[in-house]
Chains A and B, each alone.
Chain A
Amino acid sequence: MADSDELRGRLAALETELVHIPSLDPRGLEAAEVRLLGRKQGALTEILKLLPGLPPDQRRTVGGEANRLKQVLEAAVVARKAELAQAATAAAARGLDLTMPGRLRHGGGVHPVTTVVEEIVAIFHGLGFARAGGPEAETEWYNFGALNFPPDHPAMDLHDTLYLDIPDRRGPAERRRNRSSGVASDFERRDLSDRREREQGRWLLRTHTSPVQIRVLQQEPPPVRVVIPGWVYRKDTFDASHAPVFAQIEGLAVDEGITFVDLKATLSHFAREFFGARTSVRFRPSFFPFTEPSAEMDVSCGVCGGKGCPACKGTGWMEILGAGMVHPTVLANCGVDPERYTGFAFGMGPGRIALNRYGIPDIRLLYEGDMRFLQQFGLRAPGELA
């Protein structure tokens, strides 16, 4: 029969060991751990083994004390171990120059214009717009006629067009009729029911992504909500601010009951998401043949915050996109009833937005494939000394 007082005495003696633990060296700590807490012959284990010999009430109290002591001892050992490990690391690190560069891997990255495109598309995704696309080679009908560009209209001057050397399939009489007219005058509104007819007109490289509006509306009845990123072409000499090919994003929403307020709300929401919650937005009247009313959206200049600076030509505003309510004639050209349906459309240039956002001074940098340029926008750990 074990004696509870004796056991208490042994526990008290063990408790005195606690004060030594924080000063033990690694070997001493290991020995102490075995001696005190060892699972086979540790002093505490020995005490615990004797517990069943005590009367039940004493067994509980002594057992409780023994377990408490066990926890305290274990904690002290763990703490000392951590301390020693840290000291060992520090010792090993002496003589290591931690400012030396880390071992890098090759990083990659998407083009800055792609980054802008994907961010824009993601925001419109969140507003229920799906991503659509269309061909880059188009007919005059899709690029101009269906979009309500009147033949021989000065609105064409805003679209310096690259035409393709592909024979058209019109009859000689029709060709003769149009021979005297200038560039971009050869299309005429045609019977929409005949696809072959519609494909006629000269072939060109689309000057905007708007022809995809027509293709989408012909394909699907409203409700339609799409964003259309793509490449567009202009007969522009390649210089610091013009490229013959550039990215554009088009958007289109057509349904019953869509209004100018929806246009403003959607695009304002986009602007705050893209440029920051504190961005101010304004809408100005403008002109596009395929929208009416037409608008330009400006956002407060990101460089000066709207106070006026060289970047915004002192106006405090940056022109970001063109937009408008889809012209009834465009809807009708796609076989959509303009009395029943309304819609809005918008278009913007992610390349120009990228130039602004990143402070890129020359548009040609976007097309050169200079690794040093692209690396600035990709995934890359700094390799400098630090």
Chain B
Amino acid sequence: MNVSRRWLEGCLRRPLDATEVAARLAMLGVTCDAIEPLHPGLEQVVVGLVESVAPHPNADRLRVCQVFDGTPERRHVVCGAPNVTAGSKYPFARVGVTLPGGVTLERRKIRGELSEGMLCSARELGLGQEHDGILELQTGAAPGTPLLEVLPVDDDRLVLDVTPNRPDLLGHKGIARELAHGYGVPLRLPEIPGAPVTGLGTLRRVETRRAEVAGVTVGTDDPAGCRRFTAVVIKGVKIGPSPAWLSDRLQAAGVRSISNVVDVTNYVMLELNHPMHAYDLAQLHGPAIVARRAQPGERLTTLDGTLRELSPSMTVIADQARAVGVGGVMGAANTEVTAATTDLLIECAWFDPAATRRTRKALALATDASYRFERGVDLWGLPEAQRRAAELILATAGGQVVDAVDVWPEPTAPPRIFLRVARVALVLGESLPVECMERYLVAVGCTVLHKPEDARLAVEVPGWRPDLRAEIDLIEEIARLHGYDNFPTELRPYRVGRLGDSVLDRAVTRVREGLAALGWFEAQSIPLGPEPGPGGVKLLNPLSSEEAWLRQRVLPGLERAVETNWSRQVRDIRLFEIGTVFRGSESGGRPFETLRVAGVLTGARAPAHWSAGAAVDDMDLWDLKACFAAAVALANPAADVQVEAGGWVARLGEDLIGHAERLGLAPPAWAAPVFGFELDLNPEGRAPLRYQALPTTPGAWRDLNLVLTLEVTAAHTARVIRRAAGPLLESVEVVSDFRSEQLGSDRRAVQFRLRLRGADRTVRDEEVDQAVSRVLKAVEKELDARLRTS
């Protein structure tokens, strides 16, 4: 909502500072996104009196003027305007002044004649497009008077962010009402220059669906969509441009001036939040103008020149022959007011908010009117809007009111709400005097009746506040007008809740911190992507086909991150992400959501260091395996890592819950292979940590370099060793894996390191020897493995 500071000043009859107004409104719940000064740069322009005009000696079209600008010295000014006349006053810009267009005036010679300043046209002052001549000022003000005192055009536009519950703030009167309370001034409508003394008076109320007004049939055949319909007939108007004050007002509010009558309807909308429409009476068939449902297949060319297909769920305004407007949304070109129009029918009606919203969505046609009807205009305020419009039309276009009617088949009274005085403190935590509550409610336009017998207030809500529907709404108004900052902020005792922390969320934190401690960085990616495969969940209204599906795996997002890093010459990448993946349920209904952990790794195993000539090995499959195992231990502690199908998987019982592999991404020549893993996050089955007694006896170790066939795995060999060595064996580690021609292509030598220890005594050499020989016997028998002899 664009608000003019001057318009507000007209309502409050006091000068306002735009910044201060914005600050006050912010604390009342309306934020101001911007303050735009209008017509800036006119402060230094003054009234200049042209005392004499002489021809320019060297140019036919130029004149040399003597200008009195209030200072003792007269100024020589060369002027090209055809309308410059001695004895007239014009806006004068002295040397040194910068005009709104950015031009700074200098003393200079024009065709040999000195010019000290400029007599300005409206366009040069940013006040209009007219450039035919300089702007003659009809003023008694003395030369040298600041122009802004003669032409009060300077204004500020406040761009307000109005929340959808407050339609009343879509009009200047509503904004002014909010401010009036704080300033302690009454709220009135601005005076209209040239307004008639007697205006429209009351409208003839009719409680049927149809009525006649000056021979025109008007009304509503669709009381659900259009509950109330008012019409005023004004004859003998003269369509023309609006007076400057009116076009200035509209311009300040961001609306282009079109013609006096159209401008008036826009003015009333911007002042009172009542969209209205002016019809050319001569163009109405019947003549009639009624609200009704659209007929199947009915079409209408709206004012924007688009032919629109209507449906019977939409309310239209129609004459006897055809639709002439989409109710609450937009009028049609066929009955538009034109320069030839002399007789008007002004329609101001109430359209159902939800229906208007559905219609404008169906037509994809959002207008200032639909914006307001969707939010709710004042059902009880239509006559005031008509009176204001009539006053403005008579003042700007002349003519005479012939008749006015108010068709309201089922009149209702504004709602009444009961407010329990004690409830206010229960919600707000602060006891306020009841007089105080009453004052606040009256300030927003409520009528308050005391019901002392049961400590309640009966509150009649004004029609412009459709958001006030229940007691809690009134409590909010009391808090708002009291000022949120005026409530205390001391912490009071509270009870903690029954719910404990979510186990899953705690696990996520643990996994995240664990992976970060292992040298990984957490990434967060957009969980939308292209079709992920069977079971994918699709969006109905995606932003693009590339983001039309919910992800089923986290890894693809990290692969995209790897490519992003590569595109920026980043080679060493260690990323993980914890996020939700989605899978459709076969029966429809809720999609399955699973939390997953994924990681990618590529590039140097450690930061390069000069001590090794800055040479570092790249990460390989074995880095992946360790990372995967660590991630499984953190994220799914009950699962096991297994070798399967040439890679590693994690299984929880029978369920496959994760895998690790070299990824198919093709690295650029300077980058390294990429590895990745992904697994379910499931904290269940995490064994509680238990202390294990530290050994108190010295241990012994032996290395066994075993020649194994290629079919025999290290894990299998270790199992055989463990079983054969007996209880003294503490651990088995792999020290090396050696292959050579000498061993043959089907064998390798794997060196195992066995650590042995007695639980309560020092292990004896003979015991170690016996264990080793048991191991050697067993591996030879079971694995055909023997000690390597060098």
| Chain A interface residues (CB < 8 Å from chain B) | 100-101, 103-111, 113-114, 118, 127-133, 135-137, 150-155, 157-158, 162-169, 180-183, 185, 199, 203, 205, 216, 219-226, 229, 231, 235-238, 243-245, 253, 255, 257-262, 264-266, 268-269, 281-287, 292-295, 315, 325, 327-328, 342, 366-372, 374-375, 378-379, 383
Contacts and interface: CB of A to CB of B under 8 A. Distances in A.
Nearest to B164: A154
Interface string B296-321: 00000000000000010100000000
B166 interface: yes
Interface string B460-498: 000000000010110110011000110111111011111
A137 B528 CA distance: 13
B427 A223 contact: no
A379 B516 contact: yes
A182 B311 CA distance: 13
A368 B497 contact: no
Contacts of B568: 370, 372
A315 to B, nearest CB: 8
Contact of B524 (A223, A235, A294, A366): A366
By Cβ-Cβ distance, the 5 closest A-B pairs, closest first, are A259-B429, A369-B561, A285-B29, A261-B429, A182-B361
A180 B313 contact: yes
Contacts of B484: 264, 282-285, 293, 295
Contact of A182 (B165, B358, B547, B589): B358
Given A109-B516, A180-B362, A223-B495, 6 more contacts: A108-B518, A128-B494, A130-B501, A164-B539, A244-B528, A253-B494
Contact of B479 (A243, A265, A293): A293
A116 to B, nearest CB: 12
Given A285-B484, A287-B164, A383 B607 contact: yes
Given A110-B512, A166-B588, A368-B564, A265 B526 contact: no
B488 A261 contact: yes
Given A101-B610, A182-B357, A261-B429, A374 B528 contact: no
A220 B575 contact: no
10 contacts: A162-B541, A182-B358, A185-B358, A203-B591, A225-B495, A231-B579, A284-B484, A285-B479, A294-B476, A369-B561
Nearest to B490: A265
Contact of B573 (A151, A226, A371): A371
B539 A132 contact: no
Contacts of B716: none
Contact of B570 (A108, A127, A367, A370): A370
Nearest to A225: B497
Interface string B399-428: 000000000000000000000000001111
Nearest to A161: B541
Contacts of A294: 476
Interface residues of B, number: 108
Contacts of B313: 180
Nearest to B166: A287
A153 B164 contact: yes
Interface string B506-543: 10010011011111111111111000000001111111
Contacts of B62: none
Contact of A287 (B165, B354, B522, B542): B165
Contact of A162 (B479, B485, B539, B562): B539
B761 interface: no
Given A111-B524, A245-B527, A369-B575, A166 B591 contact: yes
B165 to A, nearest CB: 5
A132 B502 CA distance: 5
Contacts of B579: 231
Contacts of B378: none
B489 A105 contact: no
Contacts of A243: 526
A262 B494 contact: yes
Nearest to B162: A287
B565 interface: yes
B625 interface: no
Nearest to B362: A182
B575 A181 contact: no
* Most chain B Cβ neighbours within 10 Å, of A157, A220, A260, A265: A260
A106 B574 contact: yes
Contacts of A245: 526-528
Nearest to B573: A371
Contacts of B435: none
B430 A261 contact: yes
A136 B165 contact: no
A158 B490 CA distance: 33
A265 B488 CA distance: 8
B505 interface: yes
A61 B645 CA distance: 87
Contact of A164 (B509, B537, B557): B537
Contacts of B561: 368-370
A135 B590 contact: yes
A287 B470 contact: no
Nearest to B548: A165
B541 A153 contact: no
Nearest to A154: B164
Nearest to A364: B526
Contacts of A293: 427-428, 475-476, 479-480, 484
Given A370-B568, A374-B523, A108 B516 contact: yes
* Most chain A Cβ neighbours within 10 Å, of B353, B357, B495, B524: B524
A148 to B, nearest CB: 11
Interface string B157-200: 00000011110000000000000000000000000000000000
B540 A165 contact: yes
Given A101-B609, A244-B528, A371-B572, A111 B497 contact: no
A294 B476 CA distance: 8
A155 B500 CA distance: 33
Interface in B582-605: 582, 584, 588-591, 593, 605
Contact of A216 (B354, B499, B543): B499
B26 interface: yes
B524 A255 contact: no
B415 to A, nearest CB: 16
A261 B428 contact: yes
A386 to B, nearest CB: 14
Interface in B349-387: 353-355, 357-358, 361-362, 374-375
A155 to B, nearest CB: 5
A284 B492 contact: no
A19 to B, nearest CB: 46
B537 A109 contact: no
Given A108-B516, A367-B525, A264 B488 contact: yes
Contacts of A269: 491
A168 B589 CA distance: 7
A162 B542 contact: yes
* Most chain A Cβ neighbours within 10 Å, of B357, B550, B609, B610: B357
B742 interface: no
B565 A370 contact: yes
A106 B570 CA distance: 15
A164 B542 CA distance: 9
Nearest to B591: A137
Contacts of B479: 260, 285, 293
B525 A262 contact: no
A304 B734 CA distance: 61
B429 A260 contact: yes
B244 interface: no
B163 to A, nearest CB: 4
A162 B593 CA distance: 17
Contact of B540 (A110, A155, A163, A237): A163
A163 B480 contact: no
Contacts of B564: 368-370
Contacts of B485: 282-283
B504 interface: yes
A111 B611 CA distance: 32
Nearest to A351: B524
